[in-house]
Amino acid sequence: MIIVENLSKIHQGEDMEKTYFYRLIKDKFNLNYGDELIEVQSYGIEIERQDKVEGNIVNIERDYIKNISPQRHKVHSLLKVLHDNTVSPIHLIDIAGDYVDEYINDFDNVLREIATN
């Protein structure tokens, strides 16, 4: 897994600072095509939140979804939505789930392209 892009945001509370990291990640995904395995580049999202009290990290929450889509622009757009709305890693699956369900079809489209070529 490779981090392609990293966005961050800091929220300062009365006694705690929360730093959010929104990462576009790249990996490889194997698709079955007949008797062959075809390796496809795929993109996913990782969100991390670091809680700090007096400059010391007291808690880290992290979650990710690998292999959302082979189309970088779609995953990047979703990453921006999550960043702009300060989505916590705890809620990543709840918020991004519908997008992921839709985007997973992009892998089928890759197989269709291979079949027609």
What tens digit of pLDDT does each residue of 16-25 get? 999 999 999 9
d(CA 23, CA 2) in angstroms, rounded, equals 10
- What would the mean pLDDT of 13-41 be, rounded to a whole number? 91
**Model pTM score:** 0.90
At residue 38 the predicted structure's pLDDT band, cuts being 50, 70 and 90, is confident
In the predicted model, what is the mean pLDDT of the chain? 93
Report yes or no: 25 and 1 within 8 Å, Cβ to Cβ: yes
Q: Read off the tokens for 61.
A: 């929450």
What tens digit of pLDDT does each residue of 86-110 get? 999 999 999 999 999 999 899 888 8
The residues, any chain, with a CB within 8 Å of residue 45's CB and separated by 6 or more, are: 22, 23, 24, 25, 64, 65, 68, 75, 78, 79, 82, 92, 96
Give domain limits for the chain: 2-116
